[in-house]
Structure 1
């Protein structure tokens, strides 16, 4: 029997605060419910998500929220498996969430830059400037990636000094103008920063190139690059490729896994392009392969920017495209929709939120099946290991048998 799988990560689409949310000051956060409520209040109507709800999204979210139903009607007929998963990893960041999805939770603490201003160690800045030849850096603080362009973009263009900032995540971000600073120079700068930051146990260095000629129109481009450390153990992606299978990474997936366990890497920018690219790869997807896509817009454009209406409209657009995705699934294709963390756009601040994630599964002809609460995101990776007949992962419990009984 042929085996193909597709994972679509709705980046930041949490469905209710996790049991340990108090450790993160996130008790009460609920990305899905907050978006739904804002839609009713501000647009005077409910979210329209017929395809997601047919997979059991509302049922999963209601269970994850202790019986509180988001202001979205349930589907009358379910055609997929639905559940919700709790994170084992110590953080609520992108690498931790994705690595755990692939069967490898992060059980150690990342290094963080805790200080809101003067965030980076002086010795690190000095060596970074010396190694890269820049006269200094701008920022050196916790900041919103869009706000800091307005604040420091002109000074960056004038001085040639890169804008360096961080957040509550284990991350070092560098914004630079593609024309005035140069894209390749930015990537080279970030590679050196990646090397220097290893001793601080920082998870990611992110290159944030932008264009524009004034503070009013500076805007990020699609040439973002993430430079991640390697996962602490082989992921299910590694095991699939080592067994002769293929992993087709779309969007920022390859960067998140430091290009390990990836056989094909395809960049795409924007929700439409990411979905179009996923569909194109599904159309020619070989046996024993995984198409793996991160839909970053939900997090980057709406969650972090605290835009619940934009988030809801993007969900409705994605839902409309789901019919095409369902149609592209062969009888031997396993489709999984999930998330990597929450980012409630109505929650204080601009950071991720510690939440349960949805686990929605589809195969043609499938009936509704309740997958219940999953104790780790790693259940997804374990299920894929089971599905592709690979050596089991150390973490996670497969739900493949439940699907096949449906």
Structure 2
């Protein structure tokens, strides 16, 4: 559920207040996962989204994999809009970002500074800026920009660190629709210091959470929570 408003017509504070009220209403039998404040700017025919989006999420059911990780004594760091997605639940420290470049830089900093922890990063620009806008040229450029920075993230890993690169849905910029697209999602998992030649994994998205939980020493999956650790990690 989204409420969009021009920043020069509806002040951000008013938009956020409206979304907070909608969040209170859209619960129970009317529940939706997220209420999204979607501010934009510009002239008619040339509107652009601003970085001031804010998500009002339902609190996830607990316990979940983040709960298990924290119970194991591992702090959870959310980079980007992770805090908003999970309504702040089981997030020890939030690191908001303004761009993919900022998100990558903060992730690298945490990888180098933390002695232990789960760094959970969300990079949105292929989706929010280019996928939904059906702009394959800039979508491609955005992927290239990340690819150039990937080495810096891998270089920051320590022996035994698990690095997982994945996506939660497609957003094909070449289709007629501006919505998310259905396709096999990317999943790459790498352990620093090990041979990277692994097998293809055809599982469900919850397997990522189960794998991270197992790797960080969390207890087994809570009752009713799907997912199996990816072998042979």
TM-score by shorter chain over 0.5 = yes
Separation of aligned partners in 2, 1:241 and 1:385: 10
**What per-residue deviation string (whole Å, max 9, x for no partner) do you get for residues 319-358 of structure 1?**
0001101111111321100000111112231111122112
Write the mapping of 1:245-394 to structure 2, written as runs, cut at 5 A.
Answer: 245-287=74-116, 289-393=117-221, 394=225
For residue 66 of structure 2, the aligned residue among 237, 242, 245 is: 237
Separation of aligned partners in 2, 1:397 and 1:296: 26
Q: Secondary structure at the match of 1:280?
A: helix
Q: Quote the residue 1:395 is aligned against.
A: 226
Decide whether the 8 Å contact of 2:127 with 2:171 is kept in 1. yes
Shift of 1:363: 2.5
Matched, 1:200 2:30: yes
Bigger relative CO (Cα 8 Å, ≥ 6 apart): 1
Shift of 1:179: 4.7
Separation of aligned partners in 2, 1:192 and 1:339: 30
Q: Tell me the C-alpha RMSD between the 2 structures.
A: 1.8
Q: Secondary structure at the match of 1:335?
A: strand
Write the mapping of 1:149-228 to structure 2, written as runs, cut at 5 A.
Answer: 172-198=1-27, 199-212=29-42, 214-215=43-44, 218-228=47-57
Separation of aligned partners in 2, 1:242 and 1:223: 33
Decide whether the 8 Å contact of 1:382 with 1:397 is kept in 2. yes
Equivalent pairs, count: 229
Uncovered stretches (5+) of structure 2, i.e. residues with no partner: none
Uncovered stretches (5+) of structure 1, i.e. residues with no partner: 1-171
Separation of aligned partners in 1, 2:61 and 2:176: 32
Decide whether the 8 Å contact of 2:160 with 2:193 is kept in 1. no
Give the TM-score normalised by structure 2: 0.90
Give the TM-score normalised by structure 1: 0.53
